[in-house]
Structure 1
Amino acid sequence: MSVKNQGENRRTSIGSQRNPASEEAILKAAQDILLEGGLPAFSIEAVARRAKAGKPTIYRWWPSKAALLLDVYHRQKDGVPHPDTGDIRKDLSQFLAGLLGFWRDGGGAIFRSIIAEAQSDPTALQALQAYAMSRCRQSGVILQRGQARGEVRADIDPALLIELFSSFAWNRLLTSRLDVSRDEIEQIVSAVVDGVALRNQPRQ
């Protein structure tokens, strides 16, 4: 293939402003590579080849591999709901079931790749930390609504408490045990919402 034809087949960008068609092609290429070959197959070079985009364009829009990985994940995760049924137990159960289901349906493979990248890349670790804190704050709205309804103590930090549910989900993801039953989810939710200590038992 001639240099001219390579240039004609390559998608054009418009500087620092993202071209929607090129952005979609890059994100889809990155997603497909991760799903097909996992993190070992993922590189900016591989994404550029599949998307027919220039590496400088990718690096201009995503300054690191971790940033691109997180954007690919965000692209899928927008569908995970923060339900508002009027009942804190139902809201938390549906949230946890939705997250585990999303990971089971393919999103988990990408998120595991992000976590793996963060173990050896400080930039990826910082990005993952920022993402995790941001998601806990966003998902904490479920508990904030419970506080407003008088179901949850006012002194509870919603972001901190939602991290308990995220920790359970992360553990299941990293140990490939995402087939969690409804009864198990409800048991986890009840244990957190109701507590596990027996009533009126003296402290030792």
Structure 2
Amino acid sequence: MSHGAVRSEETHSAIIEAAAAILEESGYAGFTLDAVVKRAGSSKPSIYRWWKNKAALIIEVYERSGESALTTSRKGNLRDELADFLAALWNWWGGTRAGEALRSIVAEAQSDPQTLGLLRDEFVDRRKNNLRVIFQRACDRGELQWSPDVEAAMSLAMGTSWFHMLTGTLADTRLCEVYADMLVRALTVSRAS
């Protein structure tokens, strides 16, 4: 008994590779599903069977392209590890098509409820994983205790980074140190009270 089409890893890889190449060559503005189909030797039904829409495909390409592989330094304190991660993220967004792709997805989400749901309900939480590792290590070292304040600090670090990505102001990574200082100071004050 068939339970629907089986996802062929070969076809999946071909679609992802085609989508990544088109994004790199043409950016979001030049990215179309027709171009992906042609380059991958696939079909639109195959794409729509596995991805809800164009944004879902681009999000998978984005996630495979490197952010999840950004390493978190082990400097032994929250401030330095957070500043290093933010600077690496900003450099990655500014030096690759990743920042442009993410800006475009955020823009599309403003007029497409399906893309907004995907961004809000799936993508954003996964993007916090590296930050969770950094803050969890700080908790394990006794620098702070996990609390709603830590969750808020992660959201602030993420929101600040997205602000700079959306406004194209990622070049001055010295700001990452300023933001890390501010967040650590706020968490320290919160813990003391």
TM-score range, shorter chain: 0.7 to 0.9
Query: What is the root-mean-square deviation of aligned Cα atoms in Å?
Result: 2.2
SS at 2:69 equivalent:
coil
Question: 1:150-165 counterparts in 2 under 5 A?
Answer: 150-165=142-157
CA distance in 1: counterparts of 2:173 and 2:129, whole angstroms:
26
Match of 1:97 in 2: 87
Unaligned runs of 5+ in 2: none
Match of 2:22 in 1: 33
Distance change >3 Å, CA 85–CA 113, structure 1 → 2: same
Match of 1:86 in 2: 76
CA distance in 2: counterparts of 1:125 and 1:154, whole angstroms:
29
1:62 offset after TM fit, Å? 1.1
Q: Is the contact made by 1:48 and 1:54 (CA closer than 8 Å) also made in structure 2?
A: yes
Deviations 1:133-182 (A, max 9, x none): 23225522211221221212443443321111111111111111111233
Aligned residues: 182
Q: TM-score, normalised by structure 2?
A: 0.83
CA distance in 1: counterparts of 2:53 and 2:43, whole angstroms:
15
1:116 offset after TM fit, Å? 1.7
SS at 2:29 equivalent:
helix
Which of 39, 43, 53 is matched with 1:50 structurally?
Answer: 39
Distance change >3 Å, CA 195–CA 160, structure 1 → 2: closer
Match of 1:115 in 2: 106
Unaligned runs of 5+ in 1: 1-14, 199-204
Letter in 2 for 1:133: D
Match of 1:167 in 2: 159
1:190 offset after TM fit, Å? 0.7
Higher relative contact order (CA 8 A, sep 6+): 2
Runs of 4+ in structure 1 off by over 6 angstroms are: none
Larger radius of gyration: 1
The percentage of aligned residue pairs carrying the same residue is 37
